[in-house]
Structure 1
Amino acid sequence: MFHNSKISLIASASIALLSVIPGFTIPASAAKGASVDGADASTDLDRKALKSAMDRVHSVGMPGVYAEVRDGDRVWRGAAGVADVSTGRRVRPDMLHRVGSITKSFTAAAVLQEVEKGRVDLDAPIGRYLPELVPGARGEAITVRMLLNHTSGLPDYLPYAFPSLQIFPAEGSTQSLDDNRFRQWDPVELIEMGVKAPPAGEPGVAPGTYSNTNYLLLGQLLEKVSGVGAEQYITRNVIARAGLRHTGFPTGTQIKGPHSRIYESFFGLIDPPRDYSVYNMSWVSTGAGLVSTVGDMNRFYGMLLGGRIVSRSSLEQMQRTVPVISQTGEVVEYGLGLHRFTVADCGTFWGHDGTVWGAQTLSMTSEDGKRQMSIAMNLVRWNELDASGRPQPHPIDDALLAFQREAVCD
């Protein structure tokens, strides 16, 4: 996380979506079709209200948005807008999407599986497993649990991997985004940036600070204890176990399959917004590298919260939250790879949000597992900044809130 108050808002692989939308308080095989409605014929969800709310998100400025909403066995899938602003190609609810830090829930589940096997101790120091990456007293003080819930005190590597962002908005440069578009990063190189940077806090002290460094370290931990690559492990033991047919870590720079182009505005600095759908995602890997669909995201969180990916006792560990300062400066309740969302008058939900350059996602599942919503958008950081560097309200914010409430509230 950036320390400068202005730039602390922006250099993120996962900027919390709900933290800038008032009303969502966060305390200390998808159906094909191009229709906006896209609903199953059997559903008695309020299709007209969902359709109208989604249309509104598009009409106030979002190029393309698509979602799947579930209420028990009843399903609504819909999309509004375009997947390509140049050609007018329509967005569809079955499209693949870069889901950003939703990846962290997958990585955390994989680590908990290794805990269940006795290969990892949640409260053991990371220095026991990776002394070469987090050496000395720091490696002894930071536990595996602290990496999972972002209380390690390790800062994010992002401002060092994307150095032009460190002077934003004073100089207004996003050059680093283009400089690194095709770069193949070594996760160890990125981890070293975070470990060598000034600490973001003391290990184990709340509130923690959200940091992608933690989840790249967890990827290295998985490799160390399992003997296979972290992405391979997650694919075999989490993605396959959940029966996800449209989820995986991309190879190369392109998404293979039907997908939308994704547009980065960077708070109005990039005008018109730039297409970053072609990008080497090694800069986030086990922290935010996955590609998925809204249908697969709902299936994953439904199975995870149903105790079918990790044991019930492991799930209880994942749902033990602490206050964590997000990359927007908001305080969120964060467990082990899971957000707890409290929606006013609607109850408690679990899931995660995710953002990479150009793409944004959010997935929420109610505590009883009955109500689910996963939504994907192809424009990011649409808000302009005021003189102090704070994002200003935009009609998209209110439209998203209205859709989300329609989706998750009975």
Structure 2
Amino acid sequence: MTVRTTMTAVTAVVLSAALAGPAAAASPGRGDGHEATRRALEAAVADGVPGVTATVKDGRRGWTATAGVGDLETGKPRSPHDRYRVASITKTFVATVMLQLEAEGKLSLDDTVEKWLPGVVRGNGHDGSRITLRQLLNHTSGIYDYLADPAFQQMYMAAEGFFEHRFDQKEPEHFIAIAMTHEPYFAPGTSWRYSNTNYALAGRVIEKATGNSYADEIRHRVIAPLHLTATSVPGTRVTLPRPSSRAYSKLARTATGPTYDVTELNPRLAFGSGDMISSSADLNRFYTALLRGRLLPPEQLKEMKTTVRARGTNRYGLGLVERKLSCGVEVWGHDGGIHGSNTDAVTTVDGRHALAFNFNGDWSGDSDAVIEAEFCGKGR
């Protein structure tokens, strides 16, 4: 999905066929009707992605497929059960908790950021007293995205800086303060621009409103009730739980040069904007439950699905993206990119048909083609 704001800002490149690994493998007897999706997964590997894992839920039927490798050194294939970093998909979980808190009367989305985080959003034209919680969640706040800061990019997204700083212990306030050194993109409510700073702030608001960590609130309110056994909010844990694959990046703005193993990092730098880990099956279960009203009352689900124009033809709600495909099918979900991991999860509005997949390389792979293939049968 085109709203992706990755931590690695790189473009496509073709890896040698030797690195591409084995062709796609589908679950026995469950691949009928997904030929186009399988070809799109294979094409992603041919275009340079080390490996991909995908899971589909279509009514009561399920389908899984993998392509390429999960480890470039050993050639070990990817697994349908892989745990991986889902990055900005975290935002849907955060928005869900915020809307639950609104339903319980613990906060209002029309509250200002200043009310909950006094003095935090201030400087160079930023003014938390003019920004609402709703504007954080739908990216109409105008707050500068700390990921765009040149010093941040050099420290965490370039090769030399990444390997020196990937285990840094920094609190969200450190990155929010970076954003405050820049001017806002626009006056609150006058436009739309994706900013990870919005959800670093949202995570802190959840903590102020509940007295608990935002991670505990997600575990209690979403992960446990839905039995998302592969989903976690890792805090400062630098490794991935098993089963998992290695994660790879070019750590450059170009897609040439060496490929680095970036599996281990401190996800705290992403906090509420993108630190979670999950699996394809869990993501399908989460978005299906969300859109079917299992997590939010009707009023709050309606709020979540009230969108503003984002990039291209996409529209952005509260941590939720609305997308109309070329064949007219409407899907809802989110995408996420972080070092070595690009993920998409989309579901039809009735929750019947869901797709989630992950590339374990962040410089290549056409996720749009995979989504179009599954829901529109492109290439069949």
Shorter-chain TM-score: what band? 0.7 to 0.9
- Amino acid paired to 1:283: L
Residue segments in structure 1 that go unaligned for 5+ positions in a row? 1-8, 21-33, 383-395
Contact 1:322 1:335 in 2 (8 A): yes
Deviation at 1:301, TM superposition (A): 0.2
Give the 3 Å change call, closer, same or farther, for CA 16–241 of structure 1 in structure 2. Answer: farther
Letter in 1 for 2:141: S
- TM-score when scaled to structure 1? 0.81
Query: Which residue of structure 2 lines up, in the alignment, with residue 244 of structure 1?
Result: 228
CA RMSD of aligned residues (A): 2.7
| Corresponding residue for residue 53 of structure 1 | 40
Specify which of 281, 302, 305 is matched with residue 267 of structure 2. Answer: 281
Counterpart CA distance in 2 for 1:93 and 1:10 is 23
Task: Give the distance between the partners of 1:281 and 1:355, measured in 2 at CA.
Answer: 12
CA distance in 2, matches of 1:149, 1:67: 28
Aligned to 1:199: 184
CA distance in 2, matches of 1:11, 1:165: 16
Q: For structure 1, which segment, 212-221 or 233-242, has the greater mean C-alpha deviation from structure 2 after superposition?
A: 233-242
Q: Residue 349 of structure 2 aligns with which residue?
A: 367
Whole-angstrom distance in 1 between the partners of 2:350 and 2:131: 33
The 5-angstrom pairing of residues 170-189 of structure 1 reads 174-189=159-174
Which residue, 6, 12, 20 being the options, matches 1:12?
A: 6
AA matched with 1:370: R
1:261 alignment counterpart: 246
The question of 1:307 aligning with 2:296 is answered no
Inter-CA distance 48–204: structure 2 relative to 1 (3 Å threshold)? closer
CA deviations 1:178-200 (Å, max 9, x no partner) are 33211011111111221332111
Q: Deviations over 1:184-232 (max 9, x none)?
A: 11111111221332111111112x1111111010111000010101111
Report which stretch shifted further, 123-132 or 148-157: 123-132
Partner of residue 91, structure 1: 78
**Are 2:109 and 1:122 equivalent residues in the alignment?**
yes
Contact preservation (8 Å) 1:58, 1:65: yes
Counterpart contact for 1:263–1:274, Cα < 8 Å: yes
| Whole-angstrom distance in 2 between the partners of 1:48 and 1:163 | 42
Check conservation: 2:4, 2:335, Cα contact below 8 A: no
Instruction: Sort the Cα spacing of 1:274 and 1:146 in 2 relative to 1 into closer, same or farther, 3 A.
Output: same
| TM-score, structure 2 as length reference | 0.87
Aligned to 1:139: 128
Kindly provide the amino acid, as one letter, of the partner of residue 66 in structure 1: T
SS in 1 for 2:319: coil
Q: Which runs of 4+ in 1 moved over 4 A?
A: 14-17
What corresponds to 2:215 in structure 1? 231
Count how many residue pairs are aligned between Structure 1 and Structure 2.
361
Q: 3-state SS of the aligned residue for 2:26?
A: coil
Q: Deviation at 1:285?
A: 1.4
Counterparts of 2:151 and 2:32, CA distance in 1: 44
Equivalent residues in 2 for 1:376-387 (5 A)?
Answer: 376-382=358-364
Of 305, 327, 349, which aligns to 1:319? 305
Residue 225 of structure 2 aligns to a residue whose secondary structure is coil
Identical aligned residues as a percent: 32
Greater mean deviation of Cα atoms: 190-199 or 210-219: 190-199
Find the aligned partners of 2:266 and 2:322 in 1 and give their Cα distance: 30
Q: CA deviation at 1:406?
A: 2.3
- Unmatched 5+ stretches in structure 2: 13-21
User: 1:270–1:255: structure 2 CA closer, same or farther, 3 Å change rule?
Assistant: farther
Aligned to 2:16: none
Q: 1:260: Cα distance to partner?
A: 1.0
- The aligned counterpart of 2:17 is none
Please say which of residues 235-244 and 89-98 is displaced more in the overlay.
Answer: 235-244
Instruction: For residues 129-148 of structure 1, give each alpha carbon's deviation from its aligned partner in whole angstroms, at most 9, with x where no partner exists.
Output: 11131259812110000000
| Alpha-carbon offset, residue 164 of structure 1 | 4.8
What is the aligned partner in structure 2 of residue 357 from structure 1? 339
1:281-327 per-position Cα deviation (integer Å, ceiling 9, x unaligned): 111011100110000000000000011111121111011111235xx
What SS does structure 1 have at the residue aligned with 2:163?
A: helix
